[in-house]
A = this chain, B = another copy of it.
Amino acid sequence: MNNKIIALYEAHDVKALAELLGRMNVADIAEQLTELNEQVAVKVFRMLGKDKAAEVFAHLDRDTRRQIIRSITDAEVGALMDGLFVDDAVDVIEEMPAGVVTRILANVPAGKRETINQFLQYPDDSVGSIMTIEFVELKTEMTVREAFAHIRETGVDKETIYTCYVIAEDRRLLGIVTVRAMLLADFDAKIGDMMETDMIFAHTLEDQESLMAKFRKYDFIALPVVDEEDRLVGIVTVDDAFDVQEEEATEDFEIMAAMSPSETPYLKTSVFRLTKNRILWLLLLMLSATATGAIIAGFEDALAAVPALVAFIPMLMDTGGNAGSQSSTLIIRGMALEEIAPRDAGRVLWKEIRVAVLCGAVLVVVNYLRIVITGGTQLMALTVSLALYTTVVLAKMVGCLLPIVAKRLGADPAVMASPVITTIVDAASLAFYFLLASAILHI
């Protein structure tokens, strides 16, 4: 790593270091700070001005944030929290141990503490939990010129100035004006005449996935958030939405691969934590798979009579698992993107059944030929093929329905992914396979 900060720090060139910090992008400073040892990181952090310190802090990872909070004074904690946007302040507090949270909140300026406490109460996946309050408010009677003067006066502390929100006396959201529209308009035009009133907005308790769908659809820089009485209480900016979208996808990838989701990058996660995130699901699925084993054990006589039956178990299990996880993946992803709703269950099922019938047909033909060509009997080929066909159809039905059922029950559809589907389909398909074999091969 080419860490310019450490180079100047070690050369004791304070002036050049201050100059470098003034010029560097906050995200780059944050990245380089995480590479320093604790004492040095805190010393360099203290060299930053108040506003830049807050911006850098917002870009730091959890561990470095904890180190800094631990090492600075109460007054410095207060100044830092004052400098953070509310959404970042809420983030910081959510990832601190309880004792530290108390210390932080005790040092936040009173007005902001109230807002933070309120925002901390929004459910984890709600829009309220990621919104912030630093937006530009305009009034209908302002002119464009007055609006620009207002922005010049207050804009430094806003998360975005490019979309401004026009509100009534009772804080109801009346309309939206962009800086773009104002720049292209007559400077004497009235905000009330030019604001867009056909607004797209979100509710505090709305699901984040639905907010992401709005950002994808409408291409906005920020979306306003209103409470139950349509009062403007916050905004979400697209750069925060961008991060949330990535985090939600990563979380789904992890849950779908039978892991507890984690927000820490892989290389920074300890072996113990990685193990903890994985072992519960591994255990649960291992024990479930023994049920499948018990089914096979119940057919010991059939197996003893026709040992060749065993050779097809991996093919049946793998194909069932793959067919099922194809379906469940598409449905889980479709629901995450709000392209599929639980009410579509019937259409989805009918679609998957037809896909299964087609896919199954191709697989069965190839499989039948393979068995006969490699010297298997026609009856054996028939048994395996029927079991395969049933497995594929069953896998696709289970694969598409379970995520929808989970969603309807208020659970995370991503849980119903490959590992769970595979375990369920394995048991059913092997049971059916042996029943078929007993019947067709007369054992």
List chain A positions with a Cβ less than 8 A from chain B. 23-25, 27, 31, 59, 148, 151-152, 155-156, 161-162, 179-180, 183-184, 198, 200, 212, 215-221, 238-239, 241-243, 245-246, 249-250, 252-254, 256-259, 265-267, 271-272, 274-275, 278-279, 281-283, 285-290, 292-294, 296-297, 300, 303-304, 307-308, 310-315, 317-319, 321-323, 325-326, 328-334, 337, 339-340, 344, 347-348, 351, 354-355, 358-359, 362-363, 366-367, 370, 392, 418-419, 422-423, 426-427, 430
Using Cβ atoms and an 8 Å threshold, which residues of chain B touch A275?
A: 355, 358-359
- B419 contacts A325, C-beta separation under 8 Å: yes
- B311 contacts A293, C-beta separation under 8 Å: yes
Question: How distant is the Cα of A15 from the Cα of B342 in the complex, in angstroms?
Answer: 38
> Contacts A25-B218, A310-B303, A339-B267: A370 and B180 contacting too (C-beta < 8 A)?
no
Using Cβ atoms and an 8 Å threshold, which residues of chain B touch A221?
A: 162, 221, 238-239
Q: Closest approach, in angstroms, between the C-beta of A78 and any C-beta of chain B?
A: 25
Q: Closest approach, in angstroms, between the C-beta of A333 and any C-beta of chain B?
A: 5
- B313 contacts A296, C-beta separation under 8 Å: yes
- A254 contacts B329, C-beta separation under 8 Å: yes
> Contacts A200-B25, A315-B292, A367-B286: A278 and B359 contacting too (C-beta < 8 A)?
yes
- B426 contacts A337, C-beta separation under 8 Å: no
> Contacts A27-B218, A162-B162, A292-B315: A331 and B249 contacting too (C-beta < 8 A)?
no
- 30 residue pairs A–B, Cβ–Cβ below 8 Å: A59-B217, A155-B180, A162-B162, A162-B179, A162-B221, A219-B239, A238-B238, A245-B246, A249-B249, A259-B330, A265-B339, A266-B330, A266-B331, A266-B334, A266-B340, A267-B347, A271-B354, A272-B358, A278-B323, A279-B359, A279-B363, A282-B322, A283-B362, A292-B314, A293-B311, A296-B314, A303-B310, A314-B426, A318-B422, A322-B419
Using Cβ atoms and an 8 Å threshold, which residues of chain B touch A418?
A: 257, 325, 418
Question: How distant is the Cα of A333 from the Cα of B226 in the complex, in angstroms?
Answer: 34
- B323 contacts A282, C-beta separation under 8 Å: yes
Question: How distant is the Cα of A348 from the Cα of B274 in the complex, in angstroms?
Answer: 12
Taking a contact as CB atoms closer than 8 A, the residue among B242, B253, B339, B422 that contacts A333 in the complex is B253
Q: Interface SS of chain A: helix, strand, loop or mixed?
A: helix
Q: Closest approach, in angstroms, between the C-beta of A202 and any C-beta of chain B?
A: 15
- A259 contacts B329, C-beta separation under 8 Å: yes
- B148 contacts A161, C-beta separation under 8 Å: no
Besides the contacts A155-B180, A279-B358, A304-B304, what 13 more A-B pairs have beta carbons closer than 8 Å?
A152-B183, A155-B184, A162-B162, A242-B245, A257-B325, A258-B325, A266-B330, A266-B331, A266-B340, A267-B339, A275-B355, A282-B319, A282-B323
CB-CB nearest in chain B for A272 = B358
Taking a contact as CB atoms closer than 8 A, the residue among B148, B179, B250, B279 that contacts A362 in the complex is B279
Taking a contact as CB atoms closer than 8 A, the residue among B254, B292, B419 that contacts A330 in the complex is B254
Taking a contact as CB atoms closer than 8 A, the residue among B180, B217, B307, B325 that contacts A304 in the complex is B307
Using Cβ atoms and an 8 Å threshold, which residues of chain B touch A278?
A: 323, 326, 355, 359
- B319 contacts A317, C-beta separation under 8 Å: no
Question: How distant is the Cα of A300 from the Cα of B311 in the complex, in angstroms?
Answer: 9
